[in-house]
Amino acid sequence: MNKEPSVHELKQTWGLPAHAKMLGWLLHDPYKDEFLVKYASSPDMTGMWWGLSPETAKAFKTLKKANSVIQSLELTGRAVAAPAFDIGKQIIVLTDKIGVENPLRELTRLTQDLD
């Protein structure tokens, strides 16, 4: 497993301004363009709540934690971990193009080989 990209590496790769603040790693469903807002899991059931806005999404501090939640909720192939940055007037989420035409939604090549 490769190391997680640093905030500095992500900013440089995507040309984000120096003042951009990383909010964390969000779980994004690129097919529906939704973000995981909340989840609960027990031996009997799993509940997931999704929303359209990255502002309300559950943010994970590390890519490792985000990927472990993807696996535990059985979202592999459906959701991706995507870094989110607050650049002042908007939040930018760098995620996959699958099912979406938004050019800001591209998964950084720095995270592709982490699994």
Q: What is the pLDDT of residues 87-111, one digit of tens each?
A: 998 898 987 554 445 444 444 444 4
The pLDDT assigned to 89 comes to 87
Mean pLDDT of 17-33: 93
Percent of the chain with pLDDT over 90: 59
- Please report, for the chain, the start and end positions of each structural domain, with discontinuous segments joined by +: 7-111
Instruction: State phi, psi for 3 to the nearest 5 degrees.
Output: -75, 155
What's the Cα-to-Cα distance from 100 to each of 46, 59, 64, 74, 95, rounded to whole Å? Answer: 27, 21, 25, 22, 10
At residue 114 the predicted structure's pLDDT band, cuts being 50, 70 and 90, is: very low
Residue type, 24: G
Q: Does position 14 have pLDDT exceeding 70, yes or no?
A: yes
Structure tokens at 106: 């591209």
Structure tokens at 64: 């490792």
